[in-house]
Amino acid sequence: MAELNDRQFRHNSYFAMVLDPTAFPLAGRDPQKHRLQVAVDSGRPELIAVLGRRRVGKTHLVRTFFEKELCFELTGSRDGTLQEQLVNFANSLGSLTGYRHARPESWQMAFEELIRALEPMLSKGGRRVLFFDELPWLAGRNSRFLPAFEHFWNHWASRQKRLIVVVCGSAASWMITKFLRHKGGLHNRVTRRILLEPFTLSETEQFLETRKINWDRPQIVEFQMAMGGIPFYLNLIERGDSPAQSIQKLLFAKGAPLANEFEELYASLFEHHERHLAVIHALAQKQQGLSRNEIQALSGIPGGGNLTTILEELETSGFILKTVPFGRTQRDRLYRLVDEFSLFYLKWYNNKSQRKGSWLSRRNSPAYQAWSGYAFENLCLRHLWQLKAALGISGVETEASAWRYQPKSPDEKGAQIDLLIDRKDGIVNLCEMKYTDVPFTIEKSYAENLRGKREIFRQVTKIRKSLLLTMVTPCGLKPNTHAHLADSQITMDALFVPLPPEEDAG
């Protein structure tokens, strides 16, 4: 084997990143970093699965957090042949040992070579991290990667106290069914599962600060309501541009980098993604969500296991949210599209009638004002922990849901509450979310609507808990004779409170 010189290694993009991690600062992600640090400190072998949708920053999290411990990284090539994947393995092994390696004949032989290279390193103390990125692409059909990996972990790696193995993949359906729910030798072998979701508002704010983009909080909210907290999208913003200018350049301008993102996003994540898109299109038709039967009818997907799997994959990837209406059972659950980019794309880009003119002009239209109200409501649902913290109940056990009453006769009135926080301390917060760029005014007619809504809820549900009205608005309430109707109010700043490390949901 010919020894590679240091200069050759430095031309490798992976080593350039590891040797200079400050070029790619890791903003936010405190809960995920906390869990990774717990793994480092555990003193035992760890097999960590990192999941998350495309562009959410999984690879960057692993590379940056483990910059000192990472000794081997292998990234799968999409549609790569077995021989091509094994050549990549040989190159990665050469990066570890400093020598050139021939392409192994099989994955079993590849892992045998990896063990021989690692054994001397593991005897010297300290943690060592192996990173297998885009695992679904490595484990293609007839590759025999998973049986070889299974043998590697069960018969050697699981006995190495200094070893951490991290696997990662964007294809949620594959990661769930083929790896996390593996029925063979990898069953229940994953020691930690970390779900990486889009940035919270706080993390977006931190990320923009690292890029010297000086947006205030209303501007951050405006952008995130449309594009979501996806690091890749945020990294495309140019300094000096407003949120509206950024959205115009990213999606609507000629040659916009995200013009084809919607289709590519789902195609990269899900096998037979057309069925997932059919569900997404169905959910986009109704803001308050759809039942399983309604999804089946609108999407044309037959009931049974296929639809169950599709809904689970979309939920795991963070595109949809499953809720049970207040006072109902799991059989009555609703599914709601909450991915900001998908909602924005289907409303403003996929609809040709809405695509006319520049985004900067359409941003001031009545249609945008109506859409932004729903988008803000959606953003609030994404920040439920922050809402609870603002109410001083972050430690109280709660159930969040929506509620709707359809009148049964012409004499009755209906009512809809988009967010209820049912608390174990005998209180239910009825949350009203309103998006304005000035303090919100509770007019007389709206005050009557709120009183009626609260009373209908009490009468229909027969609830005995105290009902408190909570107004969630960016700029608070304008003082007037009706403002006292709100028992509490939450402003935009509360949504920017960072999650504490122990709040990781992964």
Task: Evaluate whether 324 touches 305 at the Cβ level (below 8 Å).
Answer: no
Q: What Å distances lie between residue 368 and 220, 256, 258, 359, CA to CA?
A: 17, 21, 20, 10
pLDDT score recorded for residue 33: 94
pLDDT score recorded for residue 209: 95
pLDDT score recorded for residue 351: 65
Which of 363, 419, 69 minimizes the C-alpha distance to 219?
Answer: 363
Which of 266, 301, 260 minimizes the C-alpha distance to 282?
Answer: 301
Domain boundary among 142, 166, 195: 195
pLDDT score recorded for residue 23: 46
Which of 267, 258, 194 minimizes the C-alpha distance to 223?
Answer: 258
Residues 415 and 490 in one domain: yes
pLDDT score recorded for residue 353: 54
Residues 316 and 399 in one domain: no
In a domain, 249, yes or no: no
| CATH code for position 489 | 3.40.1350
Residues 425 and 342 in one domain: no
Number of CB atoms found within 10 A of residue 121's CB: 16
pLDDT score recorded for residue 354: 54
Which parts of the chain sit beneath pLDDT 70? 1-25, 305, 351-357, 504-506
pLDDT score recorded for residue 107: 97
In a domain, 27, yes or no: yes
| CATH code for position 49 | 3.40.50.300
pLDDT score recorded for residue 102: 94
Which of 228, 386, 224, 377 minimizes the C-alpha distance to 288?
Answer: 377
User: Within 13 A of 82's CA, how many CA atoms are on the CB side?
Assistant: 14
pLDDT score recorded for residue 352: 61
pLDDT score recorded for residue 474: 96
d(CA 494, CA 29): 18
- For the whole model, what pTM was predicted? 0.88
pLDDT in tens, 70-80: 999 999 998 89
Residues 92 and 18 in one domain: yes
Q: Which two tokens stand for residue 438?
A: 């000035």
Residues 272 and 190 in one domain: no
- Grouping H, G, I as helix, E, B as strand and the rest as coil, residue 167 is strand
pLDDT score recorded for residue 429: 97
In a domain, 49, yes or no: yes
Residues 343 and 290 in one domain: yes
Q: Which two tokens stand for residue 80?
A: 């790569």
Number of CB atoms found within 10 A of residue 333's CB: 16
Residues 167 and 56 in one domain: yes
List the domain range (segments joined by +) for residue 335: 261-350
Q: What share of the chain is helix, strand, coil (3-state, %, to 5)?
A: 50, 15, 35
Number of domains in the chain: 3
In a domain, 479, yes or no: yes
Residues 175 and 286 in one domain: no
